[in-house]
Structure 1
Amino acid sequence: MDEPIHEHARWARQLLRALRAALDQGTALLAQACLVDGKLAARRLDAKQVSSFELAWAGAELLAAEAALAALDAEADELQARLALVFAVDAITSIFDRLDVVYDEVTADATVLSAIRLDPAWSALRRGAAGSAALEAAGRSVALSDGEVGVFELDEPHALAQDAFRRFSAEVVAPQGEAIHRHDLTVPESLLQPMREMGVFGLAIPEQYGGSGPDDHDDTLLMVVVTEALSEGSLAAAGSLITRPEILSRALITGGTAQQKTHWLPRIAAGDPLCAIAITEPDFGSDVAALALKGTRTPGGWLLNGAKTWCTFAGKAGVLMVVTRTDADRSVGYKGLSVLLVEKPSYDTHEFEFVQERGGKLTGRAIPTIGYRGMHSFDLSFEDFFVPDANVIGGEEGLGKGFYFTMAGMVGGRMQTAARACGVMRAALRAAIRYTSDRKVFGAPLADYPLTLAKLARMAARLAACRRAAYSVAKVVDSGEGRMEASLVKLLACRSAEMVTREALQLHGGMGYAEESAVSRYFVDARVLSIFEGAEETLALKVVARGMMERALGIAAAGT
């Protein structure tokens, strides 16, 4: 880095350290306000939802800014350094406003925030790293980068995987992505079979069970690398295909019997059958503990009655991982849930009805959506549908443990969703770079105008920060830690994908709103990311904010 950028980085780190201390203090104060008898009380947490939401977002933005700056050293690439500083300024600006809400909520002395705002380093950083001249310089470099920002140094196996899947995404996925979206098609075998051959469905499954994952540890980083690359070609046609097998395989690895692991894992790794996850229900959304799909004992197994919704890929899938209430006592909440594996034929249609020989019935109907087409999300209805005892994960010992088995795959699912967001952002940024370089407005390329360059700089800065955070946290997750950080990255990356794709579409003008333009698909696809794998509000309140408060208090709090 040159000397001015080095100095800006020093100021940014100084400010982020001060904000980290202010965040920790605000978190502790908010947690104290939610205590009853030494425990975080659900009713008090609910009363503080607005400030808790802002707290979670401040944590996410701070984590990403820290990750971006952590990569800067004397040898750092100038573009990456400029983008890290642009994001740091934007993040600090936002964090100030969010912490104001937190401190006001607990009527705390906000002198610490005022002191940071008045620090000369802050005004100097804003002018030097994110003023008009700095944004224009960064934007010009972004325009020449082809979207290669947020570079994370990978070892040889991960780098080879990234190259291979980026080529596959560009050459095989992207050419089919537009037709799948515009004609609302089901993901075709012309995509699925090559992905089977590349071992995509077995990335989270150990080699001893027929997958390509290590036997002695997880490789979340590989999942992130591959998911990001596939999502750049198409979120719905490829980028989301490996999340479901990961969640199911991790549930089996965590709680399955030896026989179940031997029977199911090699088949899942081979992509035959394809799988889907049925958790959400019409009346409960993200409230897993309240799920009501009823499983009733019958000789040799269980009869399922009830409904599920937003079950992605349920038509094409040959096996559904169904979270079922097997304990009729609703008062036990999540402790009454089990995971049952429902086998069914594979359908390419948007509606299906499967009737068992004994009369049980499963019907499905694809939910029309503005984007994320290809895999399709289904409404499902079970009527006396029989599932044998052999298909209860964990067998008799697994009854009542379904919540835990399901959560075993959610950290990986959230990391994959962050990676999907990064892939969509990368596609949108690259499209914006190409269009603004070619499109002439008032006699000059759109990319020559300062406002365009500022937009490209901020888009690239956000993508770079999210990529670095996702890749860094993936390595932490593989060490057995990082559950909170995975949620923070998911939170930020998914909202960022909306922002970046929105700006990319805007830079395309009227053509961006046309379906024939790929950027219109990126925009509507990105919108779903903040909803699934933990809706933004639920994730921020129930996982992130609560987790931050528990850390601050040093307790394992239980809701009351």
Structure 2
Amino acid sequence: MLCAGNPELAELRGCARDFLSRDSAEYGWVPAVDGWLASWDEAFSARLGDAGLLGLTIPSQYGGRGLGHLHRYVVNEELLLHGAPVAAHWFADRQVAPALMAYGSEEQRRSLLPQMAAGRLYCAIGMSEDGAGSDLAAAASRATRTDGGWLLNGRKLWTSGAHRAHLIVVLARTSPRDPARRHTGFSQFLVAPDAPGVTVSPITQMSGEHHFNEVVFADVFVADADVLGEIGNGWQQITTELSFERSGPERILSTAPLITGVLQELSDNDVGAPLAAAVGNLVAQMASLRQLSVSVANALADGRDATSRAALVKDLGTKFEQQSVETSADLLEFAEGAGAHRTAVVGLLAAARLHAPMFTLRGGTNEVLRGIVARGMGLR
């Protein structure tokens, strides 16, 4: 497990904290809620890579450090707790790099992994579609054989960061749909957003923020060298990728800068027993979910299937994140004080309220995730 007494992990955590403290002081970034989605800072990602705090699980021959998933976990935990601007590199480091290591060709690994470890290659994930969000087996995008490669046609929605990414990993059908075997016939492709036939259009939130996109593929040529893994093995590949996506600390700590800010405000107040109990409950939930998340990291590190547990982390974790927003708002009312810190916390609360509806949607709705858990238990 992820023990505080592990000296190697403790040293790495200390290095991450020192880096974040120095970097924030020098470059002036401030903690943000949902920073892994909303705070895109390419220069920060490059500095993180230069500091050796990216690509931790990527083997050294591909520019990484060749460490384990728990090493990556503690660094990401610190990044999220500090609300650092990590969105530029997040998807590449979280799931595209592991997919390349597991399924990619040697050429793809040598070309892409060093740039990811350096924090200088940004990826988007082209899975969800209109009518096939959480039910990815209903995806209608198709790739058909042509000389030297494939012609890709289709439309992806909610593709985070596609307008800034160097690469989109696209899930598409490469054989006709079989109603009796809905999960067969999928493949994955590495597609440049500026390739001929690709159109990226913004989906702007009511707040004015732009993270999501609609991406349309119209007869986009994808060379055989840009197929990720094996043709027809796409579903098996994304099942593993989704375990990384759904189980990480970002499913628990999106609101961590808000929670820690509120707790700091309360620390200067004489709180009564009911308020102390509410704080204890909040922290206990976070600690329990963290242990569940770490258990999935251990399973993935050992090469074990973690599909059901990853879905459980995402379900419980994102519900906790939503509930933590209003709990934090209630607790903040009891904190007397003013000044720059309180102003910052109030700003974090406003941002968290805008983002909270997304927590239980992205990465699979909770209803679909519960179906995955039920199947894993043999109940469906």
Q: Is the 2:92–2:116 contact (alpha carbons within 8 Å) kept by the matching residues of 1?
A: no
| 238, 249, 257: which one aligns with 1:406 | 238
Q: Is the 1:169–1:233 contact (alpha carbons within 8 Å) kept by the matching residues of 2?
A: yes
| 251, 261, 265: which one aligns with 2:99 | 251
Q: Is the 1:514–1:520 contact (alpha carbons within 8 Å) kept by the matching residues of 2?
A: no
SS at match of 1:213: coil
Could you tell me which runs of 5 or more consecutive residues in structure 2 were left unpaired when the two chains were aligned: none
Shift of 1:402: 1.2
| 322, 335, 344: which one aligns with 2:184 | 335
Matched, 1:367 2:203: yes
> Aligned residue for 1:428?
258
When residues 318 and 425 of structure 1 are mapped into structure 2, their CA distance, relative to the original with a 3 A threshold, is closer
Q: 2-side partners of 1:399 and 1:316: how far apart?
A: 27
Give me the identity figure in percent. Answer: 27
Matched, 1:517 2:353: no
Q: 1-side partners of 2:258 and 2:208: how far apart?
A: 15
CA RMSD of aligned residues (A): 3.3
Shift of 1:241: 3.8
Relative to the length of structure 2, the TM-score reads 0.84
Matched, 1:548 2:372: no
Matched, 1:159 2:159: no
Which letter maps to 2:375?
A: R
User: For residues 210-289 of structure 1, what are the structure 2 equivalents within 5 Å?
Assistant: 210-214=63-67, 219-234=68-83, 237-238=85-86, 241-289=89-137
Shift of 1:205: 1.9
Which letter maps to 1:255?
A: Y
Matched, 1:531 2:372: no
Which letter maps to 2:323?
A: M
Q: Aligned residue pairs: how many?
A: 369
SS at match of 2:44: helix
Shift of 1:544: 0.7
SS at match of 1:367: strand
> Aligned residue for 2:298?
475
Could you tell me which runs of 5 or more consecutive residues in structure 1 were left unpaired when the two chains were aligned: 1-66, 68-150, 345-353, 439-444, 551-558
Shift of 1:180: 10
| 51, 55, 66: which one aligns with 1:198 | 51
Which letter maps to 1:461?
A: A
When residues 532 and 259 of structure 1 are mapped into structure 2, their CA distance, relative to the original with a 3 A threshold, is same
User: For residues 49-198 of structure 1, what are the structure 2 equivalents within 5 Å?
Assistant: 152-170=3-21, 172=23, 175-177=28-30, 187-198=40-51
Q: 1-side partners of 2:71 and 2:207: how far apart?
A: 27
When residues 514 and 429 of structure 1 are mapped into structure 2, their CA distance, relative to the original with a 3 A threshold, is closer
When residues 437 and 180 of structure 1 are mapped into structure 2, their CA distance, relative to the original with a 3 A threshold, is closer
When residues 424 and 170 of structure 1 are mapped into structure 2, their CA distance, relative to the original with a 3 A threshold, is farther
Shift of 1:433: 1.8
> Aligned residue for 1:504?
328
Relative to the length of structure 1, the TM-score reads 0.59
Q: 1-side partners of 2:245 and 2:63: how far apart?
A: 21
Q: 1-side partners of 2:40 and 2:162: how far apart?
A: 12
Q: Is the 2:34–2:355 contact (alpha carbons within 8 Å) kept by the matching residues of 1?
A: no
User: For residues 344-355 of structure 1, what are the structure 2 equivalents within 5 Å?
Assistant: 344=193, 354=194
SS at match of 2:175: coil
When residues 499 and 154 of structure 1 are mapped into structure 2, their CA distance, relative to the original with a 3 A threshold, is farther
Structure of greater Rg? 1
Q: Is the 2:178–2:184 contact (alpha carbons within 8 Å) kept by the matching residues of 1?
A: no
> Aligned residue for 1:292?
140
Greater fraction helix: 1
Q: 2-side partners of 1:225 and 1:370: how far apart?
A: 34
Which letter maps to 2:61?
A: Q
Q: 2-side partners of 1:459 and 1:530: how far apart?
A: 18
Q: Is the 2:199–2:217 contact (alpha carbons within 8 Å) kept by the matching residues of 1?
A: yes
Decide which moves more: 449-458 or 166-175. Answer: 166-175
Q: Is the 1:326–1:337 contact (alpha carbons within 8 Å) kept by the matching residues of 2?
A: yes
Q: Is the 2:124–2:165 contact (alpha carbons within 8 Å) kept by the matching residues of 1?
A: yes
Q: 1-side partners of 2:317 and 2:201: how far apart?
A: 30
Q: 2-side partners of 1:192 and 1:492: how far apart?
A: 29
Larger RCO (alpha carbons 8 Å, 6+ apart): 1
Q: Is the 2:129–2:139 contact (alpha carbons within 8 Å) kept by the matching residues of 1?
A: yes
When residues 299 and 479 of structure 1 are mapped into structure 2, their CA distance, relative to the original with a 3 A threshold, is closer
Shift of 1:281: 0.7
Matched, 1:488 2:312: yes
When residues 496 and 167 of structure 1 are mapped into structure 2, their CA distance, relative to the original with a 3 A threshold, is farther
1:255-285 deviations in Å (ceiling 9; x for gaps) = 2233333333223323332111111111111
1:81-120 deviations in Å (ceiling 9; x for gaps) = xxxxxxxxxxxxxxxxxxxxxxxxxxxxxxxxxxxxxxxx
Shift of 1:400: 0.8
1:104-162 deviations in Å (ceiling 9; x for gaps) = xxxxxxxxxxxxxxxxxxxxxxxxxxxxxxxxxxxxxxxxxxxxxxx942522221222
